[in-house]
Structure 1
């Protein structure tokens, strides 16, 4: 679960970014800029990352800050779920990623699944909308919502993508080592429960 210092840093960053967006007074802008610097210093102290790298990642956005949307596909075949091996950590995740501007959630997940696994799919049902902070993911610099959409394969074949180096289907009780930034075991079990109980209502935090 999220650490307290990380929650403070994210909250200070969010408030400072909003202030920099909407404030007109030059002295208020200076104060909000100082708050953003404090949020970066907190991250630097507790992560060991260089301040410039944190600024680029954590404090370089514009406008009112809102949670980021991560969409993941649940594709079942013969009782197994589709997963891809991520290049970045050599671990396994449901295909998906951040939603792109200009595409709907359904369009995003269909694109991500084809790019990462080679399969062409049709989205059929939104299974869950979860708050990353309420699940046992590693600490993250941003606040994420995770959208899980069930899809059916209508074409294509297993094929590695630019960001992936493995495409396989796994049974519920023989899951691979998971990429925990992207999905955790309890979420996978929830998705298998939807496969067993297709009339189950959409889950949300």
Structure 2
């Protein structure tokens, strides 16, 4: 079985009761909102990762202000020629503050649009689970940095 681990860092940027999101485009063309952020390069510090990724996807310069938590997801797959696989995503989630730059869309990346959304509108958006996990961590500030939405103990 092929195993894959991906470590990524994401930002929860909230100001004036709005959250900054990037619209992720899946390989099949499906578009859903996500937290700005992405994969950590080998040897890269996670704080540097989140700052770089937010700027790439939104145009904003940011300063992480708190580590909100770490989320882990696991998915199995069966590919036609590659056989079974087991993917684990380790997602480091920070609270971050916009310090400069200007809102713009990413070109040539995995997202196609960046925008601020009212917090109360988030439940109605087509979004990935990570948005809900990030907002839960931001609101609840759990002592061990684990969202109740993905904690196996809440099963």
Considering only aligned residues, what root-mean-square deviation do their CA atoms show, in Å? 2.3
SS at match of 1:173: helix
Unmatched segments (≥5 aa) in structure 1: 1-11, 15-64
Q: Deviations over 1:40-59 (max 9, x none)?
A: xxxxxxxxxxxxxxxxxxxx
Structure 1 outlier segments of 4+, above 6 Å: none
Alpha-carbon contact 1:126-1:150 (below 8 Å) kept: yes
Match of residue 127 from structure 2: 178
Taking structure 1 as the reference length, what is the TM-score of the superposition?
0.57
Check if 1:143 corresponds to 2:77.
no
Check if 1:70 corresponds to 2:8.
yes
Q: Deviations over 1:100-157 (max 9, x none)?
A: 1232000000000000000000111110111114xxxx75641111110111111001
Aligned length: 132
Match of residue 118 from structure 1: 59
Query: 1:201 pairs with 143, 149, 153, which one?
Result: 143
Match of residue 94 from structure 1: 35
Cα pair distance change 1:99/1:116, threshold 3 Å: same
Cα distance, 1:85 vs. partner? 1.1
Match of residue 13 from structure 1: 2
* Alignment partners' CA distance in 1, 2:135 and 2:10: 14
* Alignment partners' CA distance in 1, 2:92 and 2:138: 15
Cα distance, 1:73 vs. partner? 0.8
Higher normalized contact order (CA 8 Å, seq sep 6+, divided by chain length)? 2
Unmatched segments (≥5 aa) in structure 2: 78-85
Match of residue 190 from structure 1: 136
Alpha-carbon contact 1:74-1:191 (below 8 Å) kept: no
Taking structure 2 as the reference length, what is the TM-score of the superposition?
0.73
Match of residue 82 from structure 2: none
